[in-house]
C-alpha cells in the first residue's frame, strides 16, 4: 500500500511538471488604482505622491529591524559566554548556555541572510 501511494504521488508530480512545462506562462501586469482617480483632481496630496517609490521607506524599515535583531543576537552571544564562564561545571547551566549560544548564532546567521535577500530583492525591482 505504501508503494502504491508513492507511485501515485510520483506520477502526479511528474504529470504536473509536464503540464507546467507545456502550458505557456502568461504575462501579468498590475495597474495603478490612482491613475483614474487623479485625472480629475491632480493637485491633491495623494495624486502628488502617487509616483513616489515605497522602496526607500521599506529598505529603511527592514534594515533597522535586521540591525536590531543582529544587535540582540550579539548581546545574547555575550550573555551566553558569561553564563558558560560562571556555570562552575553545573551540567544544566552549561547546556543552557550552549543552547543560548547556538540559538543566538542561528539568529545572527538568519539576520545576515535576510538582510542579503531583502537587499537583493529590492535591487531587482529598481
Nearest to 50 by CA among 38, 58, 60: 38
88: three-class secondary structure by DSSP: coil
Question: 11-15, 63-67, 90-94, 114-118 — which is least confidently predicted?
Answer: 11-15
Residue 1, CA distances (Å) to 7, 8, 116 in order: 10, 11, 45
pLDDT of residue 111: 84
pLDDT in tens, 18-33: 445 555 656 666 666 6
Calpha distance 81→75 (Å, rounded): 10
| Residue in the structure block whose three cell numbers are 535583531 | 69
**pLDDT (tens digit per residue) in 37-89:** 666 666 666 666 656 666 777 778 888 888 898 889 889 999 999 999 998 88
Q: What ranges do the domains of the chain cover? A: 2-124
| Residue 37 burial (CB count, 10 A) | 14
Amino acid at each position: 500500500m505504501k508503494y502504491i501511494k508513492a507511485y501515485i504521488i510520483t506520477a502526479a508530480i511528474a504529470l504536473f511538471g509536464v503540464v507546467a512545462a507545456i502550458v505557456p506562462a502568461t504575462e501579468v501586469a498590475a495597474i495603478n488604482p490612482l491613475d483614474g482617480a487623479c485625472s480629475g483632481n491632480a493637485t491633491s496630496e495623494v495624486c502628488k505622491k502617487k509616483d513616489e517609490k515605497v522602496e526607500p521607506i521599506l529598505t529603511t524599515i527592514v534594515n533597522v529591524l535586521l540591525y536590531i535583531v543582529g544587535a540582540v543576537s550579539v548581546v545574547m552571544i555575550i550573555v551566553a559566554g558569561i553564563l558558560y564562564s560562571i556555570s562552575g561545571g553545573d551540567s544544566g547551566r552549561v547546556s543552557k548556555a550552549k543552547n543560548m549560544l547556538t540559538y543566538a548564532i542561528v539568529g545572527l546567521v538568519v539576520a545576515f541572510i535576510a538582510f542579503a535577500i531583502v537587499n537583493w530583492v529590492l535591487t531587482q525591482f529598481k
